[in-house]
Structure 1
């Protein structure tokens, strides 16, 4: 009975953890409403020397069209990315990452498109007392392109909106995705007025939203506590409830983040319009007198969740990389995998070496477990006689069977213990593979041998041909055949159903996780064979 409970617990653990994502995927986003007339230039495109700003996202329900305004695009190039800003308001029209691609680059095949962090929405938009400065203000268009190879440098946008002069000072770094901004506002009004400055970030989903394991969401941190909202229906209909004094707010997914970190107390709001996520940080600066100047500062991190660069930008921003309950296991595994990769230069080989090391760590426990299983083989005839003798008295059968185990010092759950201790490691590696930018597009065997068909070129994605999960299921079935049970026929059937259930669950798992479990099974089979072979040698010698 104890073995049956453990088996059921294992199956239920996997089913609960992964079944929900398989059976109830996030709804596919609906097409965005047309906010610009058919045939008009879209946001970021140039018509002659004019750029059409993106639709405003000042609130979840405010998607009114924005009239075209004269402006031009200026380019910021760094070793890490290429960004384009519209001189009309300083809107960020695009930010293309130099090192990250939409799909896996395969040697000998055309290079895929690079990741563009900004698509749709008025990103880095500035509102002064609710006025959309990219729409209503007049801006200086004399800003020049900027190229950074080292150090840092700035772009300055000058504008004037009714009652205020505006200066946006953006500072870029050559070795980080961090952009720092200071907004200075000078009152040109004849009377005192209240001043409220809102900064806005917006983009469509950062990567493909077809995956159930990588959903875009809005996240934030308050008082060192992380929270997020990924329900797109709620974000479209109701928006994000106001969050007071956030350390940062972000649009992110497993691998990429568009984060805003204010230097002063703000209120975070956000939501979705169509496919576009947006967040606003609003700061009320109180009364401003004629001729008086006030300013706010914001840090933007727009790029991959590289832990070192996030930590260099801000200790708070480093917490955007979070693996949930398994953080304490996932991060050490990730650090060790990255360290191994430096030497073997292949992520699949690094996963295999990790599997061997974990197996060695748990070797003593597995050794005792498999020896207990060998003992169980010896008492099988006695267990069969008990089942025949007490076939009509289940309670007595259980009592006598447990006494038999006790007499011969056999643990009926011994065959499951090696799997039980692997579960936390399994979940930790699962979270690392799906949430670590280092393992995105982590390669192993790019193409099937003797073909040009892409195979295990990305260990963070599923095996496209399901070869590894099927082999994993076969090794698991072989392992069950080698595992004796002293239970009833129902228990044996349950043991043989497990490989089928696990194979089904593993079909859409990251290939790296399947490789780990497959290698673990092979090592376990070898260990069981070694112990059984040694037992036969001792018996023959005796």
Structure 2
């Protein structure tokens, strides 16, 4: 897989003879290949949102019976032909691609002990390899793609501003993409704290890019631009018209949020369910009768003549000795 990704970059470099163009074209191709999965997952997510009021009703009805709740939820999914796992397809597909491209681009931009490139995963006869082999810079559009923004700023603050601007552009694109998604898909199970975390994720991700080669920043910028265009297409396809699937899903989500407020759960997904379980535990009566101590049922007395601690045992009947009584009667006068 690493060789295949490097080969794709090499082929685009053969066409353009430019590193930035080759990396950007690879990002476009990958996003276009994943787009059918994105469409499928978006449709599945909207169908899930459309049945959320019914899901909330079932959760309230069977809140004390998890097994029955799972059975009813499965019936609901089958009735509406909803696959709850389909919305995870793009994430499952993109994670290995993300790791592969990260490693390939890192190996293309790593400098050896002699301060020159020794590209990995690509053929030594390729044009890309020969352009990088024994070179000290990966120059394109006036930038050294092997430099990290933080090193570029430290080496030359004036020139490093351009590298920092690329990171700022990436964070801005992430914000645009996230707002596009959040404006139409507000989950009734997402708490306010979770929404704030999602808002600041682009900042954290952008700050991480200060410590990675600019080649990766170029790849992520290209990828995010394509993703924004895809989100615009999704908005037109699923949210246009009052009776569209997206509009129905938004109305159902609003209804589910009202049900959650009336129920007092307030959403929150797994964390909300944990809060409900804790609340139920607190509602249980505190004055629970303590179990009575176990009383020994031993019949024979223990060795050493010790008697049980609880109560006085009835002495066993001993046979009277034959002959004279222990207490003789006084003599008669």
TM-score, scaled to structure 2: 0.49
Q: Which has the higher strand share?
A: 1
Larger RCO: 1 or 2 (CA < 8 Å, sep 6+): 2
Q: Which has the higher helix share?
A: 2
TM-score, scaled to structure 1: 0.32
Q: Which structure is larger by alpha-carbon Rg, 1 or 2?
A: 2
